[in-house]
Amino acid sequence: MIIAFYKPYGVLSQFTPEPGTEWRVLKEFNFPPDVYPIGRLDVTSEGLLILTDEKPIVRRLLDPAFAHPRTYWVQVEGIPSEQAIQQLRQGVVIRGYRTRPARVRRLSEPLDLPPRNPPIRFRKNVPTTWLEVTLFEGKNRQVRRMTAAVGHPTLRLLRVGIGKLHLFTILREGEWKVLNHKERRLLLYRAGRNK
């Protein structure tokens, strides 16, 4: 079984609470027994989280050898120059590691996003920009560290797609569903090969 979940802001990608915090956890969303998240979205990130009880799916989605695409909408502080965007495309050095090349493009502000609670910090004299970033690897807090490395800290981060499965075509915030055969194929898609 593979489950897609639209994780809201403020929910940990785990079933047990962290001692001393008030963050919500996956347990409160009543998932079927024996499913676990594949990878993570940090507590301040939103969007598509996959859970499964199928071990081969875990390897297929996490092993960098499969170059499985993950797409994010990222609201950053300021207006990145073409040079900054090109740096993100080519890979940047974060914590002594050069990231793999990524697909990056500017977005007009995404429509129909639920408001974030709490809202991002607003500064009257500092504009923000939305980017679409597609990664082919998954390091801890990678998108946030990449945008910070080019001088544009991330203010809001949503994972909107994995493979060719797009979050907004199947779910609303806080919802989950078991993927059907077609959705599984979209999830497991990778450029150049789809088995």
Structure tokens at 193: 């090969």
Radius of gyration of the chain from its Cα atoms, rounded to whole angstroms:
17
Residue 51 and residue 35 in contact, taking contact as beta carbons nearer than 8 Å: yes
Residue 102 sits at the vertex; the CA angle it makes with 101 and 108, to the nearest 5 degrees, is 150
Buried/exposed code over 146-180 (b: 16+ C-beta within 10 A; e: otherwise): bbbbbebebbbbbbbbbbbbebbebbebeebeebe
The three-state secondary structure class of 122 is coil
Q: Residues 34, 42, 53, 112: which is the catalytic one? A: 42
Catalytic residue list contains 34? no
Catalytic positions, written as ranges: 42
